[in-house]
Amino acid sequence: MAHHKSSLKRIRQDAKKRLENRYYKKTTRSAIKTLRAITDKAEAEKFLPRVVSMIDKLAKKNNIHKNNAANLKRGLTLHINAMA
C-alpha cells in the first residue's frame, strides 16, 4: 500500500474514474444492444444519433479506441440501412 499522500489521492481518483468509465461503457453497450433489437426502421433511425453520440464521447475520453468507435458506428449504420 502506498504511503505518500499524493499516491493515496491518486488511488482514490483512479477508483472513482474507473467506476464512471464502467458506467458509461456499460450504458453505451446496452444502448447498442437496444438499437440492434429494434425492428422498426424509423424508430431505429431516430435512436441512432443518441447511440453514435455516446460512442463518440467514449472515444473522445479514450475509453475505447477511435477506430473501434468508427467500426461500431459503421456497423450500426449498415444494420439500420439493411432494414426493410
What is the reported pTM? 0.88
For residue 41, what pLDDT is reported?
95
Q: Is the dihedral of CA 7, 12, 15, 16 positive or negative?
A: negative
* pLDDT reading at 1 higher than 80: no
SS3 content of the chain, % helix, strand, coil (to 5): 80, 0, 20
Cell digits for 64? 475505447
SS3 assignment, position 47? helix
- Asked if 59 and 25 touch (Cβ cutoff 8 Å), the reply is no
For residue 18, what pLDDT is reported?
97
48-77 pLDDT, tens per residue? Answer: 999 999 999 999 999 999 999 999 999 999
For residue 2, what pLDDT is reported?
82
Closest to 51 measured CA to CA, from 78, 31, 75: 31
C-alpha–C-alpha distance, residues 29 and 37, integer Å? 12
* pLDDT reading at 14 higher than 80: yes
CATH number at residue 58: 1.20.58.110
The domain of 47 spans 5-81
Mean pLDDT of the region 20-43: 97
Task: Report the domain count for the chain.
Answer: 1
